[in-house]
Amino acid sequence: MHEYSIVMALIEQCEALAKQHQAIAVERVDIKVGILSGVEPSLLAQAFNTFKLDGICAKASLDMHIQPLVLQCNHCNTRSEQMHRVVLCPDCNSADTRVVDGEDMMLMQLEMDT
């Protein structure tokens, strides 16, 4: 399960940012998870709750914002959002599309107690 290694890196990033801002605790972690990121949200939440227990994130909540797949069609120039993993244009059914957003997982915001 690669979610464990992702969460470990996320917690390390949170700890580094908390130290940089002289925080004593992280209260909330907001992340964006793209549909095509390869991350399973439920497994990520489970891993976060497991690994946060021994550090500055012990009481932190994890708020996940699921980023839809944003496609730009090179054939009909339509821009669309989809909540499923299909890279075909919903207007013209072309496979000649470009992914604009929805492939990444990003730390968006931390709420810290200083």
Is 76 annotated to bind ligand? Answer: yes
Is 57 annotated to bind ligand? Answer: no
Closest C-alpha to 87, from 78, 77, 98, 76 = 98
> What are 7-63's pLDDT values in tens digits?
999 999 999 999 999 999 999 999 999 999 889 999 999 999 998 887 899 999 999
Q: Confidence band (pLDDT; 50, 70, 90) for 68?
A: very high
CATH no., domain 3-113: 3.30.2320.80
For the residues of 8-57, what is the DSSP string, one character each?
HHHHHHHHHHHHHTT-SEEEEEEEEEETTSS--HHHHHHHHHHHGGGSTT
Boundaries of every domain in the chain? 3-113
